[in-house]
Amino acid sequence: ETGVTQSPTHLIKTRGQQVTLRCSSQSGHNTVSWYQQALGQGPQFIFQYYREEENGRGNFPPRFSGLQFPNYSSELNVNALELDDSALYLCASSGDIHQETQYFGPGTRLLVL
């Protein structure tokens, strides 16, 4: 158990819809990162939030956005869903932005039809 939880566990949406995924970090962790893991692939970095500000972004379009809240929770929002957005979405929390181990949640599996 990492202490990182995600909701929902599974989600089905249709193309063009919007989705919000939620993550609760370990207490005291001020950094959260989100990753997308397509089937049969390794996770890919979407973005990171540090103290409620975006602190780095991978190669994902602006329709992927996030929020981080003072209570160690965070959200990943995806607008205008596309079929290729179907994946396992993982959040990971860490105690700081440098040289810190990231602890992953169990993920949310999103299916876009």
Please give the residue ranges that form the binding site for other proteins (CB under 8 A). Answer: 2, 4, 6, 31, 33, 35, 40-45, 48, 55-56, 58, 90, 92, 94, 96-107, 109
Peptide bond into 62 cis (omega under 30): no
- Of 16 and 100, the one with the shorter C-beta distance to other proteins is 100
From the CB of 16, what's the least distance to other proteins, in Å? 27
From the CB of 13, what's the least distance to other proteins, in Å? 19
6: enclosing H helix or E strand: strand 5-7
